[in-house]
């Protein structure tokens, strides 16, 4: 298991949810942690929580959907703290509406946050990682990046894109024989508030994940250089189910309650 002691760790969307929990975990392990978020209040709360534990986390407001802002923030960060060693692309949003009920601008926003931002942060920090032949890029995708879910067309599309982005970057690193590592994370729904109201028909097989559990598993996956983390393990069955005829796949998805999971969705207020 590798160490992040004295390594610079950047967590996007790190002011709340599992981003904040991951930031605290990395800090407890000796990492020099920086969080990017759109909310100064969320940043201040995370920094204060770390301070109460005797830890040090710093934060910057950065809109990861704005490539020029990302490049500017990246330049400022590296100028102050040096090159980033671990980039955790965690920032994400959800609409939770059916395709025809989702406004065009909301579709664009979710693709910007969940997908396009990955390109801007990677282009900002990957060159330095390649030059030093070390580093780690973490992409938080979703189980919804492996299977389509009714009421999440835009979210699924963005997370499928995130999964593909990670895989392509991993292959590029292999072709270059680089020691830069990648990890993609595909969790089922996490009880952070963002998916408030979602339900699961079989909680023993597909439990709504606790934020602290999910954050801890992700950090440990990074430290172990795991290429892929899927939570819970039952989600791995998707890869086998895709070998079946589409009609059978759809029947099983219906039986598991996948297409009804968003019926009581409320989301974060």
Tens digits of per-residue pLDDT, 29-41? 999 999 999 999 9
Distance CA 163, CA 115 (A): 9
Q: Output b/e per residue, 218-234; b: 16+ Cβ within 10 A.
A: bbebbbeebebbbbbeb
Residue range 43-70: mean pLDDT, rounded? 96
Q: Which residues, listed in sequence order, are joined to residue 81 by a DSSP beta bridge?
A: none
Structure tokens at 81: 């703290």
Residue range 53-66: mean pLDDT, rounded? 96
- Residue 264: predicted pLDDT: 80
Tell me which H or E stretch contains 216: helix 211-223
71, 155, 213, 236: the catalytic one is 155
Residue 71 bears catalytic tag:
no
Distance CA 166, CA 140 (A): 9
Q: In what order do the strands lie in the sheet with 86-89?
A: 57-61, 32-37, 8-12, 86-89, 136-140, 181-187, 228-231
Structure tokens at 259: 């297409």
- Residue 54: predicted pLDDT: 95
In 3D, which of 92, 128, 82 has the Cα closest to residue 17?
A: 92
In 3D, which of 108, 36, 20 has the Cα closest to residue 72?
A: 36
Residue 269 has pLDDT above 70, yes or no: no
3 state DSSP class of 136: strand
Instruction: List Cα–Cα distances, 268 to 191, 192, 198, 233, 253, in angstroms.
Output: 10, 8, 11, 26, 26
In 3D, which of 140, 131, 122, 127 has the Cα closest to residue 219?
A: 140
Longest dimension (CA), the chain: 55
Query: Do residues 25 and 219 make contact, with C-beta atoms less than 8 angstroms apart?
Result: yes
Query: Do residues 189 and 209 make contact, with C-beta atoms less than 8 angstroms apart?
Result: yes
Range of weakest confidence among 3-7, 181-185, 251-255, 261-265? 261-265
Residue range 41-51: mean pLDDT, rounded? 96
Structure tokens at 255: 């039986």
Residue range 214-223: mean pLDDT, rounded? 98
Domains defined along the chain, listed by start: 8-260 (3.40.50.720)
Question: pTM for this structure?
Answer: 0.95
CB-facing half-sphere around the CA of 2: CA atoms within 13 A? 17
pLDDT tens digits, residue range 123-152? 999 999 999 999 999 999 999 999 999 999
Q: What's phi and psi for 183, nearest 5 deg?
A: -140, 130
| Residue of 178 and 267 predicted with greater confidence | 178
């Amino acid at each position: 298991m590798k160490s992040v002691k004295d390594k610079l760790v950047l967590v996007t969307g790190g002011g709340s949810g599992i981003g904040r929990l991951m930031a605290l975990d990395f800090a407890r392990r000796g990492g020099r942690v920086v969080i990017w978020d759109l909310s100064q209040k969320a940043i201040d709360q995370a920094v204060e929580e770390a301070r109460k534990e005797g830890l040090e986390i710093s934060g910057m407001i950065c809109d990861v959907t704005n490539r020029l802002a990302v490049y500017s923030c990246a330049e400022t960060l590296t100028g102050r703290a040096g090159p980033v060693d671990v980039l955790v692309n965690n920032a994400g949003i959800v609409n939770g509406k059916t395709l025809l009920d989702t406004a065009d601008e909301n579709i664009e926003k979710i693709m910007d946050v969940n997908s396009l931002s990955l390109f801007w942060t990677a282009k900002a920090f990957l060159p330095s990682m390649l030059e030093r032949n070390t580093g780690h890029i973490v992409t938080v995708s979703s189980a919804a990046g492996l299977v389509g879910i009714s009421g999440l067309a835009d979210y699924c599309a963005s997370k499928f894109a995130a999964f593909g982005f990670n895989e392509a970057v991993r292959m590029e690193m292999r072709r270059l024989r680089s020691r830069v590592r990648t990890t993609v994370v595909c969790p089922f729904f996490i009880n952070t508030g963002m998916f408030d109201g979602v339900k699961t028909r079989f909680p023993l097989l597909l439990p709504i994940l606790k934020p602290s559990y999910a954050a801890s598993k992700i950090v440990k996956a990074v430290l172990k250089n795991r290429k892929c983390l899927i939570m819970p393990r039952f989600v791995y069955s998707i890869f086998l189910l895709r070998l079946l005829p589409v009609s059978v796949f759809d029947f099983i998805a219906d039986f598991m309650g996948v297409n009804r999971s968003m019926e009581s969705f409320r989301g974060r207020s």
